Structure 1
Amino acid sequence: MPSVFARRTHDKDRLEKDVKQTLYKCYLRFIEVLRPTAFVMENVKGLLSARNYGEGVFGHIRADMEALGYELHSMVVKDPERPHDFIVRADEFGVPQARHRVILFGTRSGCGQGAPGVMTPRPVITVDQVLGEMPRIRSGFSSRVHDKLDWKEYVRKAAEKLMLTPEGSALGPSLEPVMEGKHLPSAQHADGIGAEDRNPLSDWYRGHLAGSGVLPEHVARNHMDSDLDRYLFCAAYAQEHKTCAKLYDFPKYLLPNHKNAEGAVEGKEVVFADRFHVQLSDQPSTTVTSHISKDGHYFIHPDPSQCRSLTVREAARLQTFPDDYFFMGNRTDQYRQVGNAVPPLLAQQMAQVVADWIDEPSVGYYR
């Protein structure tokens, strides 16, 4: 189901009357015709608080499913009492991403299978654990950069300029290696991958590629030179402060040239003050969405020396796609496919709950 609730609360009346909030009825028609023994339905968290003409959408869904002869169960709470008991937090089940979605497990009444079980929590896995040992690559310059620039020299001078500002001077430990030209990657792509001793999901990712060095679609985007400056600052800030910089934290010369950022200089409230967002190394990533296909501002790599947004392969890893899964089309298409997906490792665990309920054998990564 599409995400129709995100960042749209500014127009409550229009939102309540939005026919997209009743799109679940299309899904309902399939249930009505096919009469499956069980089904699994996914939607965004906003479903729980969304209202349609004054009534809760979640209540409508539950009532309509029950009218068809189905009971709704949670994948994570044995006896759900509240709507929020239906939220599945992917980061609690071995997925390195804080992707929180409503998952409804429906079973046809009278099947005699008993109450279904729930998924088993797994250790939290961080961005650094799954991306930290991937080959280091650099960003490139977009076609809008007319000058022929040397990437390493540009990034080194960008670090020097940043260090001259009050905001940048506090980031010395993260910026000094860049200023000195240490460990700066030379290529925008990687032909292979080495050992991944720190990656607890290495067997899952490498799968059929175990023992080989193949790593597809790990190619960095091109960025505007001004965005390289911002990515450098944001990554260094996150490394030093263990949190993401907001526009209020930026040196003035790095603020985007648009009205939305004007108030940041005076400390006024700014809409989308977190528009440049680093994926913190020691935590699961934020939700990977299809917006990554438009720009990488919300998916900045945590290593300051790489000055770039995430590659398709890195985004795919945060979604737990194995490295041998190939995405078709151009890079924009590939990012969109990654962002629109349910994490395969999470989907497999949900499928095992269903398999156990219908008493069918299953084999999974965590079995």
Structure 2
Amino acid sequence: MDIFAGAGGLGDGFEAYGRGQEESGPFTVSLSAEMDPHAVDTLRTRAFYRSFSAPDVPRSYYDYAAGRRAVPWTEDTEQVWRQASNRACQLKLGDKADDRTLDERIRQIAAGAERRNLPWVLVGGPPCQAFSLVGRARNRGNRAYVPEADDRFYLYEHYLKILSRHRPAAFVLENVKGMLSTKIDGHTLFEEIFESLHRPGGRSGPRYRIVPVVQSGRQDGDWQPKDFLVRSERLGMPQTRHRVILLGIRDDIPNHIKPLMELDSAPTVGEMIFGLPELRSGSTDTPISSWSSFAPKLLAECSRIARPFDRETAKHLRLMSSIAGLGDDPGTGGPWIAGRVAGKLPTHLAQFIRDPRLHGVIQHEARSHMKSDLMRYAFAAAFAQIHDRSPKGAKEFPEELHPEHKSWGAPNRFVDRFKVQRANWPSSTVTSHLAKDGHYFIHPDPLQVRSLTVREAARLQTFPDNYIFEGKAGAQRKQVGNAVPPWLGHQIAGVIHQALK
């Protein structure tokens, strides 16, 4: 059961574990609870997909993904849709009525599992805005902000109540690394949560052994807070996403956890997204009647501006301008692009992400930007190709490309404002800021002059290509940015399965 489920990345990773072409895996998401309505719609659509083995997913699902149908089910599969929809609930934890509803749903499902002698697992990540380093920095600027009065600090208590009342065999609690250093009333929040999870409900509650997901080299009981920090790029993911993950096994289950081993290398941005169709941005303030005319002029102008500032980047931009007008207009993409998807994904992710029945790409559409931002994107992407890093704020942008922002030139401000996701490295952390302006997620190809699409961000998060995010583009980006990478969930599922089976 997945609470604070978001778009369902953690739960989907569990369902994907051990799932073959013809059979289901050992885990089924029986309940997802989430308060965002768009994410709930996403959870329902995905629950419908997961109701079938891979070859039996109905054609109607793929027609829906391609925009050829208004709904993913037909008359023949409507009952399956209703059952799948019932597994995803729009609930806000902390609301008394919703808390009662969730408690009753969990009680029913847990009782059914107990009758069948099946262990069940609670997973989830309480919303992390109050714990995140960025959120705390923002809150410090608000004189009226009182941490002890912020309800978001205490959402984990709902998690504790579920553990206490319903005693799952295991649990997974995920949150941002800022949890390790957050303090309330002078106490470290992580230590308080860690101790509470050992004995949720106090003396009368269940007891859990809490262990790190990743091998630390320390003995059981000697864990340090940093042992619970999981670095995604060291577990085969194309992203430097660092999260705290607490894994608990009920004390009466004698089996030991075998933690994951870190890897020496990680997939890169280029490996994950360069096989997708090339696109280009649209412009919000300058009509583009011909990309073959517009792009060379934009890159040449950018080269002229850069020449007295950075000759190597300017030279590279001049080269890009000479080839920008060649070939057909790539277009800005769309909700569906038919055709075969090229490129070769990393071996361990290829089968997990690709779907040979999809025959196209969903939700791969570039957003439009002001021409001035397109100039900054072009400069930043070319700079990154020359210097193997993004330009750092005002000091490394030509003055003509400085945005009209009163704090732009202040020391140590906006140093990552225009961040390129370099092709030969894992991406930076994909966040919900993706929904706002895209400046932190610039495509590495200067010829495409754009930010990442929903599908590209989803690939960096290791979502399968057939994963449909519901809602408008902004809601889709927010869901992708807030999600737990499914490939991480897949690996955690393997750790727990070995202990429970």
Counterpart residue type for residue 151 of structure 1: W
Within the candidate set 313, 327, 351, 1:203 is matched to 351
1:2-54 deviation line (CA, Å, top 9, x unaligned): 22223223629956534422221111111111111110000100000110010
Query: Is the alpha carbon distance of 1:233 and 1:15 closer, same or farther for their aligned partners in structure 2, counting shifts above 3 Å?
Result: farther
TM-score of the aligned structures, taking structure 1 as reference length: 0.89
Within the candidate set 122, 134, 137, 1:9 is matched to 137
Aligned partners of 2:215 and 2:261 also within 8 Å = no
Aligned partners of 2:302 and 2:378 also within 8 Å = no
Corresponding residue for residue 73 of structure 1: 211
Whole-angstrom distance in 1 between the partners of 2:224 and 2:296: 53
TM-score of the aligned structures, taking structure 2 as reference length: 0.66
- 1:217 maps onto 2:363 in alignment: yes
Whole-angstrom distance in 2 between the partners of 1:297 and 1:319: 18
Structure 1, 319-328 or 14-23: larger mean CA deviation: 14-23
Whole-angstrom distance in 1 between the partners of 2:449 and 2:466: 26
Task: Give 1:177 deviation, angstroms.
Answer: 3.3
Corresponding residue for residue 193 of structure 2: 61
Q: CA RMSD in A?
A: 2.1
Task: Give 1:227 deviation, angstroms.
Answer: 0.8
Whole-angstrom distance in 1 between the partners of 2:175 and 2:431: 13
**Structure 1, unaligned runs of 5 or more:** 360-367
Structure 1, 218-227 or 145-154: larger mean CA deviation: 145-154
Corresponding residue for residue 339 of structure 2: 192
1:148-190 deviation line (CA, Å, top 9, x unaligned): 5543433322222222232353214531332113457531114
Q: Secondary structure at the match of 1:207?
A: coil
Task: Give 1:293 deviation, angstroms.
Answer: 0.9
Task: Give 1:110 deviation, angstroms.
Answer: 2.6
Corresponding residue for residue 11 of structure 2: none
Corresponding residue for residue 320 of structure 1: 462
1:174-213 deviation line (CA, Å, top 9, x unaligned): 313321134575311143344323643332221343xx64
Query: Is the alpha carbon distance of 1:308 and 1:202 closer, same or farther for their aligned partners in structure 2, counting shifts above 3 Å?
Result: same
- 1:229 maps onto 2:371 in alignment: no
Whole-angstrom distance in 1 between the partners of 2:288 and 2:427: 34
Query: Is the alpha carbon distance of 1:332 and 1:198 closer, same or farther for their aligned partners in structure 2, counting shifts above 3 Å?
Result: closer
Aligned partners of 2:182 and 2:188 also within 8 Å = yes
Task: Give 1:133 deviation, angstroms.
Answer: 2.2
Whole-angstrom distance in 2 between the partners of 1:98 and 1:295: 21
Q: How do residues 168-317 of structure 1 correspond to structure 2 at under 5 angstroms?
A: 168-172=310-314, 174-182=316-324, 185-189=329-333, 190-197=337-344, 199-200=346-347, 201-209=349-357, 213-247=359-393, 248-261=395-408, 263=409, 268-317=410-459
Corresponding residue for residue 24 of structure 1: 156
Task: Give 1:240 deviation, angstroms.
Answer: 0.5
1:78-104 deviation line (CA, Å, top 9, x unaligned): 546210100111111111111110000
Aligned partners of 1:278 and 1:301 also within 8 Å = yes
Whole-angstrom distance in 2 between the partners of 1:52 and 1:324: 42
Q: Secondary structure at the match of 2:434?
A: helix
**Structure 2, unaligned runs of 5 or more:** 1-125, 201-206
Instruction: Quote the sequence identity (%).
Output: 39
Aligned partners of 1:74 and 1:118 also within 8 Å = yes
